[in-house]
């Protein structure tokens, strides 16, 4: 079942043409190709040390419970389709913030954002129309993962409270919640494990 194209198009344009204060930090989830070697003194001896990423260990499901392999494969398929868009949002997010810092005056900023919005609609309209409701829900979650802001918060900040409430109402009709937060250690644990594998190039 297809999701309402207007919701995803509006969401993508609101996020990609919006701005927020990220405190100068870049939320980069892509793995690097090098390791930083530190020298640490332990008991008077200097030792080399590197910082390694956290490793998740998942227990094997019991024999009495059949693993939903088909559902798992479908989740991988959907994540592979929408994850690139979440990375585009993150990249555009930083790019637009950087450009807005150079622009003086509200009218010039609004003009710049309108141009970005037209560009986004032209570039992503067909892709948004092809997404399913499930993929739309995943994208909303991943936007929160990559930008540290829910889609509702982003629309509210850049389009106003009324617009955010209106699109939240429309999203609810289609079983979607723009306020959905990403919970990698809770209900989105499996999604996080899959994304780690995708980022590492193993999926």
Give the confidence band of 194 by pLDDT, cuts at 50, 70, 90. very high
Q: Answer for the pair 110, 3: CB distance below 8 angstroms, yes or no.
A: no
User: What are the pLDDT digits (tens) for 3-21?
Assistant: 445 556 666 665 554 444 4
Cα separation, 66 vs 154, in Å, equals 40
As beta bridge partners, residue 45 has 42
Provide the b/e sequence for 127-153 (b: ≥16 CB within 10 Å).
bbeebebbbbbbbbbbbbbbbbbbbbb
Mean pLDDT computed over 115-122:
78
User: What are the pLDDT digits (tens) for 145-167?
Assistant: 988 878 888 777 666 777 778 77
Cα separation, 172 vs 189, in Å, equals 24
What is the pLDDT, as a whole number, of residue 195? 94
Provide the b/e sequence for 188-201 (b: ≥16 CB within 10 Å).
beebbebbbeeeee
Cα separation, 13 vs 3, in Å, equals 16
User: What are the pLDDT digits (tens) for 27-85?
Assistant: 444 445 555 677 888 888 888 887 776 666 655 555 556 778 889 999 999 999 999 98
What is the pLDDT, as a whole number, of residue 84? 92
pTM of the predicted protein model? 0.65
Kindly state the tokens that stand for 10.
Answer: 């509006």
What is the pLDDT, as a whole number, of residue 22? 42
User: What are the pLDDT digits (tens) for 121-144?
Assistant: 788 878 878 888 888 889 889 888
DSSP code, position 48: E
What is the pLDDT, as a whole number, of residue 61? 56
Mean pLDDT computed over 189-198:
92
């Amino acid at each position: 079942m297809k999701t309402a194209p207007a919701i995803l198009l509006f969401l993508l344009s609101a996020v990609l043409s919006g701005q927020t204060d990220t405190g100068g930090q870049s939320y980069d989830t892509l793995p690097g190709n090098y390791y930083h070697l530190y020298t640490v003194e332990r008991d008077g001896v200097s030792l080399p040390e590197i910082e390694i990423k956290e490793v998740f260990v998942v227990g094997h499901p019991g024999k009495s419970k059949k693993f939903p392999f088909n559902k798992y494969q479908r989740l991988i398929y959907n994540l592979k389709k929408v994850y690139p868009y979440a990375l585009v949002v993150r990249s555009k997010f930083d790019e637009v913030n950087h450009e807005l810092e150079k622009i003086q005056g509200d009218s010039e900023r609004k003009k710049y954002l309108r141009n970005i919005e037209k560009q986004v609609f032209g570039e992503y309209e067909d892709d948004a129309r092809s997404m399913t409701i499930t993929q739309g829900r995943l994208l909303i979650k991943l936007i929160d993962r990559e930008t540290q802001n829910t889609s509702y918060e982003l629309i509210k900040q850049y389009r106003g409270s009324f617009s955010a409430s209106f699109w939240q109402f429309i999203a609810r009709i289609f079983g979607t919640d723009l306020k959905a937060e990403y919970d990698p250690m809770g209900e989105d644990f499996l999604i996080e494990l899959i994304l780690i594998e995708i980022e590492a190039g193993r999926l």
